[in-house]
Chain A
Amino acid sequence: MQNLDSKIPAGPLAEKWSRHKAAIRVVSPANKRKLEIIVVGTGLGGASAAASLAELGYNVKAFCYQDSPRRAHSIAAQGGINAAKNYQNDNDSIYRLFYDTVKGGDYRAREANVYRLAEVSPNIIDQCVAQGVPFAREYGGLLDNRSFGGVLVSRTFYARGQTGQQLLLGAYQALNRQIAKGNVKMYTRHEMLDVVIIDGKARGIIARDMITGQIKRFGAHAVVVATGGYGNVFFLSTNAMGSNGSAAWQCYKKGAMFANPCFVQIHPTCIPVHGDQQSKLTLMSESLRNDGRVWVPKKIEDAQKLREGKIGPNDIAEEDRDFYLERRYPSYGNLVPRDVASRAAKERCDAGYGVNSEGKAVYLDFKYAIDRLGRNVIEERYGNLFQMYEKITDQDPYKVPMQIYPAIHYTMGGIWVDYNLMTTVPGLYSIGEANFSDHGANRLGASALMQGLADGYFILPYTIGDYLAGEIMTPKTDINAPEFVEAEKNVTQRIEKLFHIKGAKTVDYYHKKLGNIMWNFVGMSRNEKGLKQAIAKIRELRDEFWKNVKVPGELNNLNPELEKAGRLADFFDIGELIALDALDRNESCGGHFREESVTEDGEALRNDEKYTYVSVWEHQGEGKEPVLHKEPLIYENIKLSQRSYK
């Protein structure tokens, strides 16, 4: 077995990070100039890391599959970013943000990591402001805040409904400055297809130039993987079309362990699925739950009529509306965490109260907020979201309540990393959504942006120095080493294999089928029988895919179908691991809901005695069952309790 040391520093919680920083090594400026770092992915995590590392003097090569770093899916984040600034004087603090995050994650995250995240969060806001991020301001000129699900304070900073866009543009601008200076060499439209390991250390990657099809080798002294989440296993999700789990999966196959794959977040407020031709789902930001009230009809006859289009929502009298979140969770109301809100919506729809023709939608109603605050205020807060909604659904949410339904959104699971954000492979790091680190079994709203930027600006640039201090005598990596030759050969063979199957069905055909299996058996609610079935079905479908998929086009040209086929091939394997992990974890916690583990009133029931651990999976080779390791979670500061938002 490999080394599973989480490297959490000793000492009191609040001092761990500063003590650690004082203890780790630093690299001199002259030596930094000799060292090369590869950063794969230039979303919030990757762009902030690449820029910060280049500012420090390292030579950085950065990669993304889009035509510009500005297009990473971080751009789509809407609602905001958390930080423990306590600008609102509402008794927020680093400790409270830490506590909320651990509790929100249903006590399945590491205390030390989460505390550090909360600790650096105020610096992120300062940094972004200095870069020119146009956060919302109050009339007096101070930064404005809003509140988000799962917390009782206002600590979320935002830029209209485009916070991710503005934060990414800030990081992108910092990155551009370093590209212009020659400190970062940026490779756009390049897709990483393997990580290269020499003498047990990560030394480079193999990537495909997506325009020419050329397979290229890149060497470095360390590799950082910041390639985002794997939610697209489910086919329909709020992720971008190109979002994928492949880079993380290649790391897994090369020895980096994979943690908590079954912790997938289902977001309660997305535009419902219509028809079977849909390619993706659109999120309506959680911030809307600040001002929108969620309801379904109280009477099943009304729901029936709504589904048949005989009446509209505005025909239903106030007293006939069931504001089920306010009813079930009076203290948090519409602002319960995502997993709770998602399950509550599913519960109502399964009971027959769904309001669209497919019976899979609930209302999010702004009438009350508009009456209270006026249309202008709502427009200023959410104008672009309302416009987006109207363009998709052809309905005006200022007049008719929005229809929403839960959808796959975020993956808490990911590559296992220690406190230094290093994987189980020395010299291989993972940051942002690609790693598993801080959100436990459920991520709180506005905390992913915080984590990506914390990792990239303020954590990795320190911790990677500790490793690289030991590499200053290592010469430039030789990309003609046998390990590179071998890796390139494997990549080429796999691409050719996919390309030459020349079967009968398209990549999308198989991806939709996989998505269906995942959503029906490994989605919002899971049980042993379903999971076992899912595993069998995924294996069967994967076999068929490898025999019967049709990849058109040319190998040496831009070929989106070839790109999709490669990603889907990995999604089968990731899907299988999600199901295996979900099967092992016979408790309900956060986004993972096992029907076998519920309280009397149907709420999720954790089993701390058996499952207070991180599930860490180790690859054993193609076609072999992976091995499960357990990293025990030790709570020294927080007392575990059953989460209650009542």
Chain B
Amino acid sequence: MADKILKKLNIEVWRQNNAKSKGKFETYTIENISTGTSFLEMLDILNNDLIEKGIDPIAFDHDCREGICGTCSLYINGRPHGPDSAVTTCQLHMRKFKEGETITIEPWRAKAFPVIKDLVVNRSAFEQILQAGGFVSVNTGGVPDGNAILISHEDAEEAMDAASCIGCGACVAACKNSSAMLFVSAKVSHLAKLPQGRVEAKRRARNMVAKMDELGFGGCTNTQACEAECPKSISISNIARLNREYLAARFSE
């Protein structure tokens, strides 16, 4: 489709100098943005404008800019990763916005993800959850041949579906309880679906859930907002599987 030019947009954005300071919204205008421009390129252009005007540019997280690293994390017009479906912020394009529109940009808001600066938050709580059990306990070397254990095509595909989680945190940002259940369940399911991960499945579920609770994420009340906003379409059926694994772990205690 041919690109058009958006003559003027208002960008209302959360500014907060550091974790301790109080933040507030500021509004900037930006002109002549092609609809073929990506959302983050629009922010680059705005930032270059701001720098030239002597205003501190807006800090936001990003790296791969192709929807796979999970770094980008903007809450745009009330939705994590903005108005398009099944994409990350960096894959969002300006063709999803209208001439003259005011676009509101906020950081992820969750107790477990404190703001570092502007739109950048600290997601190290996710790291801690994975460190609590999101792995298979094998060392390098001494493992069997890759084809020694057969895995059905379907199981491999289902494991892959769950393993597609990019750890962005949109599920937490979307949830009114700031629950991390979708994220945790994706890792638990990925590994539980494979024979290599089965061995430690119960312990993994128990330890990861305990860590999640400890870090201040809320409980899951099944609102399904997470699934709707997940850029990788991770299914909430994973949460059901996590619950099963978790119960099994509790019963076997």
Please tell me if the beta carbons of A126 and B146 are within 8 angstroms of each other in the complex: yes
B99 within 8 A of A: no
Please tell me if the beta carbons of A394 and B57 are within 8 angstroms of each other in the complex: no
Please tell me if the beta carbons of A274 and B3 are within 8 angstroms of each other in the complex: yes
Given A71-B71, A274-B3, A240 contacting B63 (CB threshold 8 A): yes
Given the complex, which residues of B lie within 8 Å of A127, measured CB to CB?
138, 140-141, 143
For the complex formed, measure the closest distance between the CB of B101 and the CB atoms of chain A, giving whole angstroms.
Answer: 19
B110 within 8 A of A: no
Interchain Cβ contacts under 8 Å between A and B, 29 examples: A52-B139, A66-B63, A66-B69, A71-B69, A71-B70, A73-B63, A73-B69, A87-B147, A123-B141, A132-B135, A132-B191, A135-B146, A137-B151, A137-B153, A139-B152, A140-B150, A165-B68, A173-B135, A176-B130, A186-B127, A188-B127, A240-B64, A242-B63, A388-B66, A394-B36, A457-B140, A461-B140, A559-B59, A561-B51
Please tell me if the beta carbons of A506 and B52 are within 8 angstroms of each other in the complex: yes
Please tell me if the beta carbons of A126 and B143 are within 8 angstroms of each other in the complex: yes
Given the complex, which residues of B lie within 8 Å of A392, measured CB to CB?
38, 91, 93
4 new A-B contacts at CB < 8 Å, known A131-B135, A142-B147, A278-B41: A70-B69, A134-B193, A165-B166, A280-B65
Instruction: Give A442-482 as 1s and 0s: 1 = Cβ < 8 Å from B's Cβ atoms.
Output: 00000000000000011001000000000000000000000
Given the complex, which residues of A lie within 8 Å of B166, measured CB to CB?
165
Given the complex, which residues of A lie within 8 Å of B64, measured CB to CB?
71, 73, 75-76, 240-241
Given the complex, which residues of B lie within 8 Å of A188, measured CB to CB?
124, 127
Given the complex, which residues of B lie within 8 Å of A160, measured CB to CB?
160
For the complex formed, measure the closest distance between the CB of A107 and the CB atoms of chain B, giving whole angstroms.
Answer: 31
Given the complex, which residues of B lie within 8 Å of A559, measured CB to CB?
59
Given the complex, which residues of B lie within 8 Å of A12, measured CB to CB?
none
B213 within 8 A of A: no
Closest to B120 in A: A558
Residues from 170 to 206 in B contacting A, C-beta threshold 8 Å: 190-191, 193-194, 196-197
Please tell me if the beta carbons of A134 and B159 are within 8 angstroms of each other in the complex: yes
Q: Which 7 pairs show the lowest CB-CB distances between chains A and B?
A: A141-B150, A173-B135, A130-B143, A134-B159, A137-B156, A129-B146, A180-B131
Please tell me if the beta carbons of B143 and A129 are within 8 angstroms of each other in the complex: yes
B241 within 8 A of A: no
Query: Residues of B with Cβ closer than 8 Å to A?
Result: 1-3, 17-18, 34, 36-38, 40-41, 44-45, 48, 50-52, 54-57, 59, 61-71, 84, 86-87, 91, 93, 95, 116-117, 120, 122-124, 126-127, 130-132, 134-141, 143-147, 149-153, 155-157, 159-160, 163-164, 166-167, 190-191, 193-194, 196-197
Given the complex, which residues of B lie within 8 Å of A186, measured CB to CB?
127
Closest to B232 in A: A384
Please tell me if the beta carbons of B69 and A275 are within 8 angstroms of each other in the complex: no
Please tell me if the beta carbons of A132 and B140 are within 8 angstroms of each other in the complex: no
Please tell me if the beta carbons of B41 and A552 are within 8 angstroms of each other in the complex: no
With beta carbons under 8 angstroms apart, the residue of A52, A143, A279, A395 that contacts B1 is A395
Given the complex, which residues of B lie within 8 Å of A166, measured CB to CB?
160, 163
Please tell me if the beta carbons of B59 and A560 are within 8 angstroms of each other in the complex: yes
Please tell me if the beta carbons of A141 and B68 are within 8 angstroms of each other in the complex: no
Please tell me if the beta carbons of A388 and B67 are within 8 angstroms of each other in the complex: yes
Instruction: Give A236-279 as 1s and 0s: 1 = Cβ < 8 Å from B's Cβ atoms.
Output: 00001110000000000000000000000000000000110111
Query: Residues of A with Cβ closer than 8 Å to B?
Result: 48, 51-52, 55, 66-68, 70-73, 75-76, 85, 87, 122-123, 125-132, 134-143, 159-160, 162, 165-166, 169, 172-174, 176-177, 179-180, 186, 188, 211, 240-242, 274-275, 277-280, 282-283, 309, 387-388, 391-392, 394-395, 457-458, 461, 504, 506, 508-509, 550, 552-553, 557-561
Bound-state Cα–Cα, A132 to B71, Å: 23
Please tell me if the beta carbons of B17 and A557 are within 8 angstroms of each other in the complex: yes
For the complex formed, measure the closest distance between the CB of A432 and the CB atoms of chain B, giving whole angstroms.
Answer: 16
Given the complex, which residues of A lie within 8 Å of B123, measured CB to CB?
67-68
Given the complex, which residues of A lie within 8 Å of B57, measured CB to CB?
552-553, 560-561
Given A76-B64, A137-B151, A391-B93, A309 contacting B2 (CB threshold 8 A): yes
Given the complex, which residues of B lie within 8 Å of A76, measured CB to CB?
64, 66, 68-69
Closest to A169 in B: B163
With beta carbons under 8 angstroms apart, the residue of B91, B137, B190 that contacts A391 is B91
Please tell me if the beta carbons of A176 and B86 are within 8 angstroms of each other in the complex: no
Bound-state Cα–Cα, A277 to B62, Å: 17
Given the complex, which residues of A lie within 8 Å of B134, measured CB to CB?
173, 176
For the complex formed, measure the closest distance between the CB of A371 and the CB atoms of chain B, giving whole angstroms.
Answer: 24
With beta carbons under 8 angstroms apart, the residue of A141, A173, A391 that contacts B153 is A141
Bound-state Cα–Cα, A274 to B41, Å: 12
Given the complex, which residues of B lie within 8 Å of A123, measured CB to CB?
141
Please tell me if the beta carbons of B156 and A211 are within 8 angstroms of each other in the complex: no
Bound-state Cα–Cα, A174 to B163, Å: 15
Given A68-B123, A75-B64, A130 contacting B93 (CB threshold 8 A): no
Given the complex, which residues of A lie within 8 Å of B197, measured CB to CB?
132
With beta carbons under 8 angstroms apart, the residue of B34, B137, B160 that contacts A134 is B160
With beta carbons under 8 angstroms apart, the residue of B3, B52, B117, B196 that contacts A131 is B196
Please tell me if the beta carbons of B144 and A126 are within 8 angstroms of each other in the complex: yes
Bound-state Cα–Cα, A508 to B108, Å: 27
Given the complex, which residues of B lie within 8 Å of A126, measured CB to CB?
143-146
Please tell me if the beta carbons of A136 and B156 are within 8 angstroms of each other in the complex: yes
Please tell me if the beta carbons of B152 and A137 are within 8 angstroms of each other in the complex: yes
Please tell me if the beta carbons of A388 and B63 are within 8 angstroms of each other in the complex: no
Given the complex, which residues of A lie within 8 Å of B191, measured CB to CB?
132
Please tell me if the beta carbons of B143 and A176 are within 8 angstroms of each other in the complex: no
For the complex formed, measure the closest distance between the CB of A284 and the CB atoms of chain B, giving whole angstroms.
Answer: 10
Given A141-B152, A177-B137, A275-B34, A66 contacting B71 (CB threshold 8 A): yes
Bound-state Cα–Cα, A68 to B183, Å: 15
Please tell me if the beta carbons of B67 and A141 are within 8 angstroms of each other in the complex: no
Closest to B88 in A: A391
With beta carbons under 8 angstroms apart, the residue of B44, B153, B196 that contacts A130 is B196
Given the complex, which residues of B lie within 8 Å of A279, measured CB to CB?
38, 40-41, 44, 65
Residue among B17, B69, B147 with the highest chain A CB neighbour number at 10 A: B69
Bound-state Cα–Cα, A607 to B226, Å: 59
Closest to A65 in B: B63
Closest to A175 in B: B135
Given the complex, which residues of A lie within 8 Å of B67, measured CB to CB?
388, 391
Given the complex, which residues of B lie within 8 Å of A240, measured CB to CB?
63-65, 69
Bound-state Cα–Cα, A504 to B123, Å: 35
Please tell me if the beta carbons of B87 and A391 are within 8 angstroms of each other in the complex: yes
Bound-state Cα–Cα, A274 to B94, Å: 14
